[in-house]
Each structure stands twice: as C-alpha cells, then as structure tokens.
C-alpha cells in the first residue's frame, strides 16, 4: 500500500524536499506517493533579485532569473498547480481551489512574504520615494530609481526581523557602494544602513566583522533602530529617532503563511511552531516544516532549506518505518556575502556558533 506525502509550497524548500524524498524512496523500493502543490508557474532565483537593481550582466531582466517551476520537478513527484485554501491536521486533509487532498504525512514549505502596509507611511511612497529589492517588481523599479539618483542621503533600512536572507541588505549596501563609485557619485552620497539589530548581523562574530567592514567603506550604521514611520524626507523609529533620506531602500516586515496560523500550527505571524532539532510541527502529528515558514532560530535562506530537506526526508522515512524522528537539524547555514568590486566573504554557522571563513 502506498504512503501519501503532501508537500505544500513550490519554492526552493518544497522542490528540494519533494525531489529528495522521491529519490530516496525509490532507492529503498518504497511505495511513496509524493504530491507537490503550489501556484508559482515560474521559479524565481531569489539571490538574482539582489543584482537586478544594478543591471549586471545576466541579471538585466526577469527572464534572466526565472524558469518554469515544472523544469525542477524530478521523477516520481506529482506537481499540481493549485491555490491552497486550508489545512486540517486532525483530518489530515488539505483543500485547494480545485478540490481536497488527503495525506499520511504533510510537509509545509510555504515560505514567507513581505508586508509593505505594515509600516505607517510606506505604502503611499512605495515605488516612488521608497523602494525594495526582495521582490522582482520592486527590484526593477529600484533599478530605475538608482539610475536617476545623483547623490544625497541613500538610506538602506531593515524594518524588523526576521527577514529572508539577513545578509542581503548588507550585500546591497556593498554593491550600491561599488555602483556609486563607478558612477563617480560616491563622494557626494551619504550611505547609511539602519537596522533593528545591535549591528550589521545576528551572530556575534559576524556582527563585529561585517559592521567593521561597512564602516571601513564609509557606511554609517544606525543600530537598534526598528522602523515605525516613513515620511517624504525621513524615517522614524518607535523611540522617535529619525534618519533623513533622499532615496530609501527598505526591507519591509516579513510574515509567514496565514494558512499556518489558520490551522493552529503557527506563532501568530504565520511561522510554524517547529521543533528546531527534528523539524516536526509542535502542535500536530505527522507534520514537518522547512525553509522560511519555520520559526527555528536560523536564517531564512536557500542553503538552510537545502540542509533542512535532508533532515526532513530522513525523519519522514524513519517515521514511515515506525521509528522516531532523530534530532539532526543544527541550523546549518552558509553563504557567500557579496562585498563589492568582485570580492566576497564566506560565512558558515549553525544554531550555536559560526562566523566568517575567509
């Protein structure tokens, strides 16, 4: 008799865990039906969005960083393009705009989303006075804004944590520093990073090193400064501290999936309550989570989803065999941080430790 596994979400996490589960089940000669459900016909290479504002070779249009999602679905995975409308962990069913699906085990890889309207004054200025680069459309509009920028106060602002890929704002600062230098207007630009963190990054060793790197580039780092209000000329924190801008590049607040909270699996912000070691849902049996929709204390990044997929598949197969899940997830993340002018820093860390490698 076949075992039915539903994977919800067709981003990086959903694709990787579906393909890996199907491959390992076939290798063990197990009858596992893997069904992947999502509604993103095009897969966007998320790191590529960072380069769109600078129109670098290979990153000048959306076509450069997008492919059909179906191209990434491997053998043995049934891929359905449907809009998910509800999750019932007790009945072990998932409803969509096209019907209902039963499962034996469920994997949630629903990602997270940006909320521009969560900040007072930001929606009215989005795409005109204020820009972003976490979505393809916003990155392309930012490219136009950068071309028109001739100097002044350029403010890069992280509204609050958590966010997808917490090093991306730092990479943007480094790349815009290079961009302004090449245009000959860096000397008449005040470049500022405003962050709710105590410095440039979350991990202590990385924080110290990356903050020092930005300061050495002439970047002012305004720490402990979450975003509360945006006006035409400045942004303000809850404590009324203000920072001026001529061009604002902001990373809006992030939330997970409303589906997770509606199923009573979340923390109220759409992030699933997840055992950080097994990646099992804390409030339901036979449910695993990975990627950006978890609440585990590690980065929301593609490398994390890849490492988590290995643990999820390992534990799924153990539970199918009547064995308990093992506490193998360690929060492993690594990435190359673009620092401009053809250079990068490799960082590697987990729940407990980490820092720059080179």
CA distance 15 to 320: 21
> Among residues 109, 110, 132, which one has the least CA distance to residue 119?
132
Q: Which residues of the chain, if any, have pLDDT below 70?
A: 354-358
d(CA 311, CA 289): 10
The H or E element containing residue 303 is helix 302-320
pLDDT for residue 1: 84
Instruction: Report residue 243 CA to chain centroid gap.
Output: 26
Six-digit token pair at 32? 């596992």
pLDDT at position 247: 98
CA Rg value for the chain = 21
CA nearest neighbour of 301 among 265, 253, 341, 350:
350
152 beta partners: 189
3-class DSSP assignment, residue 134: coil
Strand 152-158 with 247-251, pairing: parallel
Binning the chain into helix, strand and coil, the percentages to the nearest 5 are 30, 30, 40
* DSSP per position, 243-294: EE-SEEEEE--EE--HHHHHTT-B-SSS-B-B-TTT-BBSSSTTEEE-GGGB
Supply the mean pLDDT for the chain: 95
Q: Are 54 and 174 in contact (CB under 8 A)?
A: no
Q: Which domains, ranges and CATH numbers included, belong to the chain?
A: 3-112+256-320 (3.50.50.60), 120-254+333-356 (3.50.50.60)
The pLDDT, as a whole number, for residue 249 is 98
What are the φ and ψ backbone dihedral angles of 181, each rounded to 5 degrees? -65, -45
CB burial of residue 97 (10 Å; 0-12, 13-18, 19+): exposed
Query: Cα dihedral sign for 106, 112, 115, 118?
Result: positive
Which of helix, strand or coil describes residue 9?
coil
Which residues contact residue 346 at a Cβ distance below 8 angstroms, ignoring those fewer than 6 apart? 334, 335, 336, 337, 356, 357, 358
pLDDT in tens, 3-43: 999 999 999 999 999 999 999 999 999 999 999 999 998 99
Q: Give the pLDDT score at 358.
A: 39
Residues in the chain: 358
> What pLDDT is attached to residue 355?
52
pLDDT for 354 equals 63
Residue located via tokens 């071309």: 147
CA angle (356 as vertex; 58, 203 as ends), nearest 5: 105
Instruction: Return all residues near 78 (Cβ < 8 A) that are at least 6 apart.
Output: 33, 34, 35, 36
Retrieve residue 92's tokens.
């072990």
Q: Are 274 and 167 in contact (CB under 8 A)?
A: no
Q: What is the pLDDT of residues 203-242, one digit of tens each?
A: 777 888 899 999 999 999 999 999 999 999 999 999 999 9
Spell out where 63-219 has E strands: 66-68, 77-81, 84-88, 93-96, 99-102, 105-108, 113-114, 130-131, 152-158, 189-194
Q: Please name every residue paired with 268 in a beta bridge, in sequence order, or none if there are none.
A: none
Contact 287/280 with Cβ under 8 angstroms? yes
């Amino acid at each position: 008799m076949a075992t039915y596994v539903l994977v919800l979400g067709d981003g990086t996490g959903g694709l990787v865990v579906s393909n890996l589960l199907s491959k390992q089940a076939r290798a063990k000669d197990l009858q596992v039906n893997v069904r992947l459900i999502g509604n993103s016909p095009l897969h966007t290479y998320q790191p590529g969005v960072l380069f769109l504002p600078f129109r670098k070779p290979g990153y000048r249009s959306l076509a450069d960083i997008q492919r059909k999602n179906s191209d990434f679905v491997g053998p043995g995975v049934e891929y359905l393009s449907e809009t998910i409308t509800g999750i019932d962990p007790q009945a072990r069913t998932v409803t969509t705009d096209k019907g209902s699906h039963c499962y034996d085990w469920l994997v949630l890889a629903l990602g997270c989303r940006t909320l521009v309207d969560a900040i007072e004054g930001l929606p009215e200025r989005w795409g005109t006075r204020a820009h972003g680069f976490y979505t393809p459309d916003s990155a392309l509009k930012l490219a136009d804004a950068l071309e028109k920028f001739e100097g002044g106060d350029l403010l890069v602002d992280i509204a609050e944590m958590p966010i997808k890929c917490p090093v991306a704002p730092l990479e943007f600062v480094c790349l815009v520093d290079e961009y302004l230098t090449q245009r000959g207007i860096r000397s008449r630009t005040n470049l500022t990073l405003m962050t709710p963190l105590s410095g440039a990054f979350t991990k202590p060793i990385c924080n110290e090193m990356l903050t020092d790197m930005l300061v050495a580039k002439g970047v002012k780092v305004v720490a402990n400064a979450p975003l509360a209000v945006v006006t035409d000329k400045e942004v303000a924190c809850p404590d009324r501290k203000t920072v001026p801008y001529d061009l604002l590049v902001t990373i809006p607040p992030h939330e997970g999936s409303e589906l997770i909270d509606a199923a009573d699996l979340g923390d109220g912000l759409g992030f699933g309550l997840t055992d950080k070691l097994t990646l099992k849902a804390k409030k339901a049996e036979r449910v695993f989570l990975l990627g950006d929709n978890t609440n585990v204390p590690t980065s929301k990044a593609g490398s994390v989803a890849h490492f988590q997929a290995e643990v999820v598949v390992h534990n799924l197969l153990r539970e199918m065999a009547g064995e308990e899940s093992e506490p193998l997830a360690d929060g492993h993340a690594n990435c190359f941080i673009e620092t401009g002018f053809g250079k990068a820093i490799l960082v590697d860390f987990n729940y407990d430790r980490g820092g720059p490698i080179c």
